[in-house]
Chain A
Amino acid sequence: MLNKLLASLDESERAAVDDEEYAVLKAVAAELPSVKRDVLELIPTLQLIQTKHGYLPRLALRMVADHLGTTVSKVYGIATFYNQFRFNPPGRNPIKVCLGTACHVKGGEIILENFERRLGIKENETSEDREYSLERVACIGCCALAPAVVVGEKVEAYVTPSKVEGIITEIEVRKEMAAREQKKDEE
Protein backbone atom coordinates (compact mmCIF):
# COMPACT_ATOMS: atom_id res chain seq x y z
CA MET A 1 0.00 0.00 0.00
CA LEU A 2 2.87 2.31 0.71
CA ASN A 3 4.48 1.43 -2.53
CA LYS A 4 1.19 2.53 -3.94
CA LEU A 5 2.06 5.98 -2.68
CA LEU A 6 5.30 5.84 -4.58
CA ALA A 7 3.53 4.58 -7.66
CA SER A 8 0.88 7.27 -7.37
CA LEU A 9 3.36 10.13 -7.54
CA ASP A 10 2.44 12.33 -10.43
CA GLU A 11 5.13 13.30 -12.90
CA SER A 12 6.08 16.58 -11.33
CA GLU A 13 6.39 14.94 -7.92
CA ARG A 14 8.50 12.12 -9.27
CA ALA A 15 10.69 14.60 -11.09
CA ALA A 16 11.29 16.50 -7.87
CA VAL A 17 12.77 13.38 -6.30
CA ASP A 18 16.25 12.37 -7.36
CA ASP A 19 17.25 8.72 -7.61
CA GLU A 20 19.03 8.74 -4.30
CA GLU A 21 15.98 10.04 -2.50
CA TYR A 22 13.76 7.64 -4.39
CA ALA A 23 15.84 4.78 -3.03
CA VAL A 24 15.43 6.15 0.48
CA LEU A 25 11.68 6.36 0.00
CA LYS A 26 11.55 2.80 -1.20
CA ALA A 27 13.48 1.68 1.84
CA VAL A 28 11.14 3.60 4.11
CA ALA A 29 8.18 2.00 2.39
CA ALA A 30 9.68 -1.38 3.17
CA GLU A 31 10.42 -0.50 6.78
CA LEU A 32 7.14 1.07 7.78
CA PRO A 33 4.93 -2.02 7.85
CA SER A 34 6.84 -3.29 10.89
CA VAL A 35 5.92 -0.15 12.85
CA LYS A 36 2.90 -0.43 15.10
CA ARG A 37 0.01 1.71 13.87
CA ASP A 38 -0.23 3.95 16.86
CA VAL A 39 0.29 7.71 17.04
CA LEU A 40 2.51 7.08 20.07
CA GLU A 41 4.98 5.66 17.58
CA LEU A 42 5.17 8.90 15.61
CA ILE A 43 8.32 10.37 17.14
CA PRO A 44 10.15 7.02 17.40
CA THR A 45 9.30 6.36 13.74
CA LEU A 46 10.71 9.68 12.61
CA GLN A 47 13.80 8.95 14.71
CA LEU A 48 14.10 5.56 13.08
CA ILE A 49 14.00 7.01 9.58
CA GLN A 50 16.41 9.78 10.41
CA THR A 51 18.88 7.44 12.14
CA LYS A 52 18.85 5.12 9.19
CA HIS A 53 18.87 7.58 6.32
CA GLY A 54 20.25 10.72 7.92
CA TYR A 55 17.22 12.90 7.18
CA LEU A 56 13.48 12.94 6.61
CA PRO A 57 12.54 13.19 2.93
CA ARG A 58 9.42 15.24 2.40
CA LEU A 59 7.44 12.37 0.95
CA ALA A 60 8.47 10.10 3.80
CA LEU A 61 6.44 12.33 6.10
CA ARG A 62 3.43 11.56 3.93
CA MET A 63 4.09 7.86 4.19
CA VAL A 64 4.40 8.04 7.95
CA ALA A 65 1.15 9.98 8.17
CA ASP A 66 -0.64 7.40 6.03
CA HIS A 67 0.76 4.52 7.99
CA LEU A 68 -0.10 5.91 11.41
CA GLY A 69 -3.47 7.18 10.28
CA THR A 70 -2.81 10.83 10.91
CA THR A 71 -2.38 13.93 8.78
CA VAL A 72 0.73 15.14 7.01
CA SER A 73 0.36 18.50 8.71
CA LYS A 74 0.54 16.87 12.09
CA VAL A 75 3.63 14.88 11.18
CA TYR A 76 5.23 17.98 9.73
CA GLY A 77 4.31 19.96 12.83
CA ILE A 78 6.05 17.43 15.04
CA ALA A 79 9.08 17.08 12.83
CA THR A 80 9.68 20.82 12.73
CA PHE A 81 9.05 21.30 16.45
CA TYR A 82 11.93 19.11 17.53
CA ASN A 83 15.51 20.13 16.86
CA GLN A 84 16.65 16.62 16.09
CA PHE A 85 15.01 16.35 12.69
CA ARG A 86 16.41 17.56 9.42
CA PHE A 87 14.89 17.65 5.99
CA ASN A 88 17.86 17.60 3.68
CA PRO A 89 20.48 14.88 3.45
CA PRO A 90 23.57 15.51 5.57
CA GLY A 91 26.96 15.70 3.93
CA ARG A 92 29.36 12.79 4.00
CA ASN A 93 31.26 14.80 6.58
CA PRO A 94 28.64 16.36 8.79
CA ILE A 95 30.15 19.12 10.91
CA LYS A 96 28.45 20.14 14.11
CA VAL A 97 29.78 23.19 15.88
CA CYS A 98 28.98 23.34 19.56
CA LEU A 99 27.43 26.59 20.66
CA GLY A 100 26.63 25.55 24.20
CA THR A 101 27.43 28.02 26.94
CA ALA A 102 31.02 27.02 27.52
CA CYS A 103 31.82 26.86 23.82
CA HIS A 104 30.03 30.12 23.14
CA VAL A 105 32.05 31.93 25.78
CA LYS A 106 35.20 30.50 24.23
CA GLY A 107 34.35 31.73 20.76
CA GLY A 108 32.22 28.97 19.20
CA GLU A 109 30.50 31.55 17.02
CA ILE A 110 33.83 32.44 15.43
CA ILE A 111 34.53 28.78 14.76
CA LEU A 112 31.17 28.42 13.05
CA GLU A 113 31.93 31.44 10.87
CA ASN A 114 35.27 29.99 9.94
CA PHE A 115 33.66 26.78 8.76
CA GLU A 116 31.08 28.79 6.83
CA ARG A 117 33.79 30.77 5.14
CA ARG A 118 36.02 27.81 4.48
CA LEU A 119 33.26 25.59 3.09
CA GLY A 120 31.26 28.30 1.38
CA ILE A 121 28.03 27.11 2.99
CA LYS A 122 25.93 28.55 5.76
CA GLU A 123 24.67 26.93 8.93
CA ASN A 124 22.07 24.20 8.18
CA GLU A 125 23.27 23.82 4.61
CA THR A 126 24.89 20.97 2.74
CA SER A 127 27.59 21.63 0.17
CA GLU A 128 26.66 21.10 -3.45
CA ASP A 129 28.79 17.97 -3.75
CA ARG A 130 27.25 16.62 -0.52
CA GLU A 131 30.71 16.43 0.96
CA TYR A 132 30.00 18.69 3.95
CA SER A 133 27.05 19.84 5.97
CA LEU A 134 27.18 22.36 8.75
CA GLU A 135 25.03 22.82 11.81
CA ARG A 136 25.14 24.11 15.33
CA VAL A 137 24.46 22.00 18.39
CA ALA A 138 23.97 22.90 22.01
CA CYS A 139 26.48 21.24 24.29
CA ILE A 140 27.90 17.89 23.44
CA GLY A 141 29.12 17.46 26.97
CA CYS A 142 32.76 18.27 26.41
CA CYS A 143 32.58 21.74 27.91
CA ALA A 144 35.88 21.23 29.67
CA LEU A 145 37.49 20.95 26.23
CA ALA A 146 35.72 23.97 24.72
CA PRO A 147 35.32 25.06 22.01
CA ALA A 148 34.33 21.71 20.59
CA VAL A 149 33.25 20.53 17.16
CA VAL A 150 31.94 17.14 16.04
CA VAL A 151 33.20 16.05 12.65
CA GLY A 152 31.45 12.88 11.58
CA GLU A 153 31.58 10.88 14.79
CA LYS A 154 34.76 12.40 16.10
CA VAL A 155 34.86 15.20 18.61
CA GLU A 156 37.55 17.81 18.06
CA ALA A 157 38.54 19.66 21.20
CA TYR A 158 40.05 23.13 21.71
CA VAL A 159 39.23 24.22 18.16
CA THR A 160 40.76 27.44 16.86
CA PRO A 161 40.36 29.13 13.46
CA SER A 162 43.60 27.60 12.26
CA LYS A 163 42.48 24.19 13.45
CA VAL A 164 39.40 24.58 11.27
CA GLU A 165 41.73 24.78 8.31
CA GLY A 166 43.53 21.70 9.57
CA ILE A 167 40.33 19.70 10.00
CA ILE A 168 39.18 20.40 6.46
CA THR A 169 42.61 19.76 5.00
CA GLU A 170 42.74 16.43 6.77
CA ILE A 171 39.41 15.39 5.29
CA GLU A 172 40.51 16.51 1.83
CA VAL A 173 43.77 14.62 2.10
CA ARG A 174 42.01 11.48 3.23
CA LYS A 175 39.60 11.80 0.33
CA GLU A 176 42.43 12.33 -2.11
CA MET A 177 44.25 9.28 -0.79
CA ALA A 178 41.16 7.12 -0.99
CA ALA A 179 40.61 8.25 -4.56
CA ARG A 180 44.19 7.38 -5.45
CA GLU A 181 43.90 3.95 -3.83
CA GLN A 182 40.79 3.30 -5.80
CA LYS A 183 42.46 4.35 -9.01
CA LYS A 184 45.35 2.03 -8.26
CA ASP A 185 42.97 -0.83 -7.61
CA GLU A 186 41.24 -0.22 -10.89
CA GLU A 187 44.48 -0.30 -12.82
Chain B
Amino acid sequence: MSEVPTADAQDVRTQACPGGPLLVRGAATWVDSDGIEHPVTRPVVAVCRCERSQRLPWCDGTHKFVTRTAPSVA
Protein backbone atom coordinates (compact mmCIF):
# COMPACT_ATOMS: atom_id res chain seq x y z
CA MET B 1 0.00 0.00 0.00
CA SER B 2 1.37 3.37 -0.88
CA GLU B 3 -0.45 6.34 0.49
CA VAL B 4 0.16 10.00 0.18
CA PRO B 5 -1.49 12.07 2.86
CA THR B 6 -3.37 15.02 1.44
CA ALA B 7 -3.45 18.54 2.80
CA ASP B 8 -0.55 20.30 4.48
CA ALA B 9 1.64 17.30 3.81
CA GLN B 10 4.72 19.10 5.07
CA ASP B 11 3.36 18.87 8.63
CA VAL B 12 2.55 15.18 8.41
CA ARG B 13 4.95 12.96 10.33
CA THR B 14 5.01 9.19 10.09
CA GLN B 15 6.61 6.50 12.22
CA ALA B 16 6.75 2.87 11.14
CA CYS B 17 6.21 0.25 13.86
CA PRO B 18 8.07 -2.97 12.92
CA GLY B 19 5.57 -5.78 12.37
CA GLY B 20 2.73 -3.32 12.94
CA PRO B 21 1.12 -0.16 11.63
CA LEU B 22 2.39 3.21 10.47
CA LEU B 23 1.71 5.95 12.99
CA VAL B 24 0.62 9.16 11.31
CA ARG B 25 0.49 12.53 12.99
CA GLY B 26 -0.79 15.80 11.67
CA ALA B 27 -2.82 14.52 8.71
CA ALA B 28 -6.36 15.79 8.09
CA THR B 29 -7.22 12.88 5.82
CA TRP B 30 -5.63 9.63 4.73
CA VAL B 31 -5.82 8.50 1.12
CA ASP B 32 -5.73 4.72 0.74
CA SER B 33 -4.30 2.75 -2.18
CA ASP B 34 -7.65 2.95 -4.01
CA GLY B 35 -7.56 6.70 -3.78
CA ILE B 36 -10.35 6.86 -1.22
CA GLU B 37 -10.04 9.63 1.33
CA HIS B 38 -10.57 8.79 4.99
CA PRO B 39 -11.02 11.62 7.48
CA VAL B 40 -8.58 11.55 10.38
CA THR B 41 -10.41 12.08 13.66
CA ARG B 42 -7.71 11.61 16.28
CA PRO B 43 -4.34 13.26 16.92
CA VAL B 44 -2.39 10.11 15.98
CA VAL B 45 -3.74 7.38 13.74
CA ALA B 46 -2.35 3.91 13.07
CA VAL B 47 -2.53 3.00 9.40
CA CYS B 48 -2.63 -0.76 8.77
CA ARG B 49 0.33 -2.18 6.85
CA CYS B 50 -0.50 -5.89 7.09
CA GLU B 51 -3.75 -5.45 5.15
CA ARG B 52 -5.55 -7.87 7.46
CA SER B 53 -7.37 -5.25 9.52
CA GLN B 54 -11.14 -5.41 9.50
CA ARG B 55 -11.14 -1.62 9.70
CA LEU B 56 -8.97 -0.60 6.81
CA PRO B 57 -7.26 1.75 6.40
CA TRP B 58 -6.82 1.75 10.20
CA CYS B 59 -4.97 -0.88 12.24
CA ASP B 60 -7.19 -2.91 14.57
CA GLY B 61 -4.45 -5.00 16.16
CA THR B 62 -4.94 -7.99 13.84
CA HIS B 63 -1.29 -7.83 12.69
CA LYS B 64 -0.29 -9.45 15.98
CA PHE B 65 -2.10 -12.63 15.08
CA VAL B 66 -0.56 -12.59 11.63
CA THR B 67 3.02 -12.33 12.86
CA ARG B 68 2.43 -14.51 15.89
CA THR B 69 1.15 -17.54 14.01
CA ALA B 70 3.45 -17.36 11.02
CA PRO B 71 6.78 -18.49 12.57
CA SER B 72 5.19 -21.30 14.61
CA VAL B 73 4.50 -23.36 11.48
CA ALA B 74 6.89 -26.28 11.73
Q: Do A and B come from one complex?
A: no
